[in-house]
Amino acid sequence: MVTYENLHDTLSFYSIDCRQSYYISSGNPIFEFPKAPFRMDYYALCICTAGEVSVEIDRHQYKADAHSILVAAPSTIVRFMKTSQDFRIKLLFFDKNFLIKNISNPFIIEKMNLFSNGSYSIVKTSPKNALVLQNLLDYLKKKSRKQGKFTEEIVRTIIFNLLLETAEILDAKYVKDPEKEEGKKDLYLKFSQLIRENIRLHRTVQFYANELCISNKYLIEIIKKACGKTPHEVIDETLLKEAYVMLGNPDLTISEIAFELQFNSTSAFGRFFKKHTSLSPSEYRITENIQS
């Protein structure tokens, strides 16, 4: 069983070179989707234009059909479960550093409130809204093919437009908390980024509180208000996502995974995994038919 750990590997399965700063799909049918879960390493905006798909995102299962939108941040784990024969999807992948070049606020994307489920959102919208996004994607693909003096800036502008249009659609779907203070939100975004960058080495609340120069108590208050979870729960969820991806690689033994994730022993890793999934790591591999 092949494991795709990132978008580069996944798209190479279709002979697509996605080592640029962005990629726009043609919307043509894909006859076979990867069966293994993979971790997104780009930001992604996906619009289902026809058919149906069953997809697992961060271990939660969804069904999507025409006019459904998925927007995801790096570190989101995606797995295609089943697609109908007429399934069609338009995609945009882009690198954050490309998009925010010359922009002083590094959290400008996160501040659009695009990710209602932590690192992603998946919603069904109206045909009219979906068409707006599809037209922008078509325009983006057309402009990206030209190599003019201002092509890069034009592409950035269209991507920002796409994200803002998507944010407006999501804003109509989800009720925002008007009491969130901007400073606290920035701390939550920094906390989320720190976890993604350090999860394999550090998983104590104290480490992240120290990095943010705040107390444990204040960090707990901020995170609880921002997402309804404790910092420890967010850390455990991120660690579990790493475990899922690594267990999907048949070349890694369970003891090697435990070592990479900084557990004291294989049994300690097993207890952690079973606590959150009701399965041991080896049982999970058996159910998913992951064989070395």
DSSP secondary structure of 256-289? HHHHHTT-SSHHHHHHHHHHHHSS-HHHHHHHTT
For residues 35 and 161, state if they share a domain.
yes
Continuous H helices in the chain? 7-12, 96-99, 127-144, 151-173, 182-198, 205-212, 216-227, 231-247, 254-260, 266-277, 281-287
The residue segments making up the domain with residue 261 are: 182-287
- Percent of the chain as helix, strand, coil, to the nearest 5: 45, 15, 35
- The rounded percent of the chain whose pLDDT value lies above 90 is 32
Q: Is a pLDDT exceeding 80 seen at residue 70? A: yes
pLDDT digits (tens, 9 = 90+) for 45-67: 999 999 999 998 988 899 999 99
For residues 21 and 165, state if they share a domain.
yes
Work out how many domains the chain is built from and give that number.
2
pLDDT, position 20: 67
- Give the span between the Cα atoms of 69 and 58, in whole angstroms: 16
Last residue of a domain, one of 138, 173, 208: 173
17 — pLDDT class (breaks 50, 70, 90): low
* Type of residue numbered 169: I
pTM exceeds 0.75 = no
pLDDT digits (tens, 9 = 90+) for 137-165: 999 989 988 888 898 899 999 999 999 99
114 — pLDDT class (breaks 50, 70, 90): confident
Q: Is a pLDDT exceeding 90 seen at residue 71? A: yes
pLDDT, position 59: 81
For residues 229 and 89, state if they share a domain.
no
In this structure, what CATH number is given to the domain that contains residue 41? 2.60.120.280
For residues 90 and 225, state if they share a domain.
no
pLDDT, position 79: 84
Last residue of a domain, one of 173, 195, 227: 173
Average pLDDT of the residues in 255-264: 93
Give the DSSP H/E element, type plus range, for residue 117.
none
In this structure, what CATH number is given to the domain that contains residue 204? 1.10.10.60
Average pLDDT of the residues in 197-210: 90
